[in-house]
């Protein structure tokens, strides 16, 4: 048995001074004091369940120059993330069972565990039941996006939603239709777009997950709808830490879809996190090269890298009193595991996966672009001084990151039943 010793363990909603024992199969087998076994000293550190990022774009294929599964996985584990769910709008997109299997082949040697989203368009409706066997969840684009998978035909949309409902899987929706090439969004436009997809969820009974909530009006509509529909929602670090004022100053470098919103929206998003109206934080890690981002605004691609910096930003917010540690774990681990049915994840309990994010809440350092693992090599949060950083990441019982080094265990993993198993 291997043991994490000397640390404060987050279990049952609180920090307790315990040892955590796990076996060679990557399962937690014992919690207790002074456990025998091969010990990894965690004195002075906090042991959290592995962080789960439900919204990443790891590119690869034709866009491997921006990111691939190896570089994306390294970035994830440096950021304390032990599992990601990866979006389908790659080149080529994940629209068929064969495409999902091909992506799986690329991803299976990544350091991070993973699940895949299946994309939905007018032309693959008949494949939904077969695609459901290969993916963790589905993704629907009602607004403009990289990759051009937007669904606009009402008849096809109805068939898609009915098909997804029959699978029982979560449907993550990019509902915001405005903002693909604009500099700003409005509260009313996001709320209006949310209202449309929420009405459809009531009608067809699918499990709805709203991606990248950015405005206070969007939050209010979510609050009203939660009693009527099976609904969860996420926001992203760029909406929590940046605003349209930053966009006006930085230009296309901070172009993202939906666009950065107002300072008042940012404040309301923080309140929604604290009150439980927003269920998750996800990075929406969408890397592009700086050369691409420095084009004229309307020609520059939308998207920001973030899988490596989301947890440090949230830990810093926790140290500043903007978020409780308990709530951070719910937002970035427990709730994602529960909503997307990621078995035995999101908690530190006997029988659960030995996925751990081990953090130093007192470590203060700056986001240094020269040290980033993401292939795109830049961050919208460059030079931010943050207090609280992951210093060790353990995936399935394997230590894959021990600050400052990334470690690659031999014979690394295989993919099974929608996500990586060891």
pLDDT tens string 98-138? 999 999 999 998 999 999 999 999 999 999 999 999 999 99
Q: Which residues pair with 280 in a beta bridge?
A: 234
Contact yes or no for 82/395 (Cβ under 8 A): yes
Interatomic CA distance for residues 419 and 148, integer angstroms: 26
Q: What is the C-alpha to C-alpha distance for residues 139 and 316, in angstroms, rounded to an integer?
A: 31
- CA max distance for the chain: 62
CA nearest to 149, candidates 92, 213, 85: 92
CA of residue 217 relative to chain centroid, distance? 23
State the average pLDDT over residues 184-200: 82
Query: In DSSP terms, which residues pair with 115 in a beta bridge?
Result: 85
Same domain, 335 and 363: no
The residue annotated as part of the active site, out of 53, 68, 193, 284, is: 284
Band of residue 419 on the pLDDT scale cut at 50, 70, 90: very low
Would you say residue 345 lies in a domain?
Answer: no
Find out whether 14 and 47 touch, Cβ atoms under 8 Å: no
Tokens at 88, concatenated: 């389908």
The answer to whether residue 314 scores a pLDDT higher than 90 is: yes
40 and 67 housed in the same domain: no
Question: Are residues 238 and 142 part of one domain?
Answer: yes
Residue 344: inside a domain, yes or no? Answer: no
Which two structure tokens, joined as six digits, stand for 325? 């540690």
Q: Are residues 34 and 6 in the same domain?
A: yes
Same domain (yes/no): 110, 41: no
Predicted local confidence at residue 408, as pLDDT: 83
Whether the pLDDT of residue 180 is over 60: the answer is: no
Strand, helix or coil at 317?
Answer: helix
Among the listed residues 422, 343, 363, the one whose alpha carbon sits nearest the alpha carbon of residue 52:
343
Q: Please tell me whether residues 16 and 61 are part of one structural domain.
A: no
Q: Per mean pLDDT, which range of 67-81, 147-161, 313-327, 406-420 is the poorest?
A: 406-420
Q: Are 345 and 50 in contact (CB under 8 A)?
A: yes
Domain containing residue 153: CATH number: 3.20.20.140
Per-residue pLDDT of 265-281, as tens digits, reads: 999 999 999 999 999 99
Beta-ladder partners of 353: 27
Backbone angles phi, psi at 230, to 5 degrees: -75, 95
Distance CA 380, CA 253 (A): 8
The pLDDT of residue 410 is above 80: no
Q: Which comes out higher in pLDDT, residue 254 or 416?
A: 254
**Three-class secondary structure of residue 277 per DSSP:** coil
What torsion do the CA atoms of 92, 147, 252, 59 make, to the nearest 10 degrees?
A: -30
Last residue in a domain, options 305, 339, 373:
339
Clarify whether residues 105 and 149 are in a common domain: yes
On whether both 291 and 324 belong to a single domain, the answer is yes
Predicted local confidence at residue 189, as pLDDT? 87
Q: What is the CATH number of the domain that holds 12?
A: 2.30.40.10
Whether 115 maps to a domain, the answer reads yes
Catalytic residue at 230?
no
- Based on the domain organization, do 312 and 355 belong to the same domain? no
| Per-residue confidence band for 409, with pLDDT thresholds at 50, 70 and 90 | confident
260 part of a folded domain? yes
Left if phi > 0, otherwise alpha if psi is -120 to 50, otherwise beta: which for 230? beta
Q: What is the average per-residue pLDDT within 183-212?
A: 88
Task: With CA atoms as reference, report the closest residue to 80 among 363, 338, 339, 352.
Answer: 363
- Distance separating alpha carbons of residues 280 and 6, to the nearest angstrom: 30
Q: What is the pLDDT of residue 148?
A: 76
Domain containing 277 equals 51-339
- How would residue 416 be classed by pLDDT, with cut points 50, 70 and 90? very low
pLDDT tens for 326-369 read: 999 999 999 999 999 999 999 999 999 999 999 999 999 999 99
80: region left, alpha or beta (phi > 0 left; psi from -120 to 50 alpha)? left
pLDDT at 95 over 70: yes
User: Are 327 and 362 contained in the same domain?
Assistant: no
Average pLDDT over residues 134-155: 88
Per the structure, the count of domains in the chain is 2
Is 380 among the domain residues? yes
Does residue 281 sit within a domain?
Answer: yes
Q: What is the pLDDT of residues 45-72, one digit of tens each?
A: 999 999 999 999 999 999 999 999 999 9
Is position 80 within any domain?
A: yes
Between CA 232 and CA 235, with CA 233 as vertex, the angle to 5 degrees is 160
The answer to whether the Cα torsion of 335, 341, 347, 353 is positive or negative is negative
Contact 346, 337 (CB under 8 A): yes
Report the candidate in 179, 176, 249, 263 with the shortest Cα–Cα distance to residue 212: 176
- Residue 421 pLDDT: 43
* Residue after which a domain boundary falls, among 339, 368, 398: 339
pLDDT for res 306: 98
- Residue 161 maps to a domain: yes
Looking at the structure, do residues 205 and 156 belong to the same domain, yes or no?
yes
Model confidence pLDDT, tens digit, residues 157-167: 999 999 999 99
Same domain, 305 and 180: yes
């Amino acid at each position: 048995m291997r043991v994490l010793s000397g640390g404060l363990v987050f279990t049952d909603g609180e920090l307790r001074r315990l040892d955590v024992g796990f076996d060679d199969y990557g399962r937690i087998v014992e919690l207790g004091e002074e456990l025998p076994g091969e010990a990894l000293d965690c004195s002075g550190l906090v042991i959290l369940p592995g962080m789960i990022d439900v919204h990443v774009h790891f590119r690869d294929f034709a866009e491997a120059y921006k990111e691939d599964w190896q570089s994306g996985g390294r970035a994830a584990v440096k950021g304390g993330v032990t599992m990601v769910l990866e979006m389908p709008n790659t080149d080529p997109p994940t629209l068929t069972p064969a495409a999902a299997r091909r992506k799986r082949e690329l991803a299976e040697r990544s350091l991070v565990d993973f699940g895949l989203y299946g994309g939905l368009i007018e032309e693959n409706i008949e494949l939904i039941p077969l695609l459901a066997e290969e993916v963790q969840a589905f993704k629907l684009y009602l607004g403009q996006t990289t990759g051009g998978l937007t669904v606009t035909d009402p008849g096809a949309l109805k068939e898609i939603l009915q098909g997804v409902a029959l699978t029982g899987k979560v449907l993550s929706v990019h509902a915001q239709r405005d903002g693909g090439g604009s500099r700003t969004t409005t509260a009313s436009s996001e709320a209006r777009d949310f209202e449309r997809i929420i009405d459809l969820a009531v009608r067809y009974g699918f499990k709805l997950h709203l991606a990248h909530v950015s405005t206070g009006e969007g939050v209010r509509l979510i609050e009203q709808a939660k009693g009527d529909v099976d609904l969860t929602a996420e926001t992203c670090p760029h909406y929590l830490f940046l605003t349209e004022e930053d966009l006006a100053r930085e230009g296309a470098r901070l172009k993202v879809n939906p666009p950065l919103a107002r300072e008042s929206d940012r404040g309301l998003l923080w309140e929604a996190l604290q009150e439980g109206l927003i269920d998750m934080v996800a990075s929406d890690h969408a890397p592009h090269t700086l050369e691409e981002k420095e084009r004229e605004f309307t020609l520059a691609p939308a998207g920001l890298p973030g899988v490596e910096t989301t947890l440090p930003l949230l830990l810093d917010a926790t140290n500043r009193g903007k978020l409780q540690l308990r709530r951070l774990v719910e937002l970035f681990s427990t709730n994602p595991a529960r909503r997307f049915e990621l078995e035995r994840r999101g908690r530190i309990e006997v029988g659960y996966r030995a996925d751990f994010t081990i953090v130093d809440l007192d470590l203060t350092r700056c986001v240094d672009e020269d040290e980033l693992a993401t292939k795109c090599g830049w961050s919208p949060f460059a030079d931010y001084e943050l207090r609280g950083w992951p210093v060790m990441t353990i995936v399935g019982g394997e230590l894959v990151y021990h600050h400052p080094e990334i470690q690659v265990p031999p014979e690394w993993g295989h993919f099974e039943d929608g996500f990586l198993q060891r």
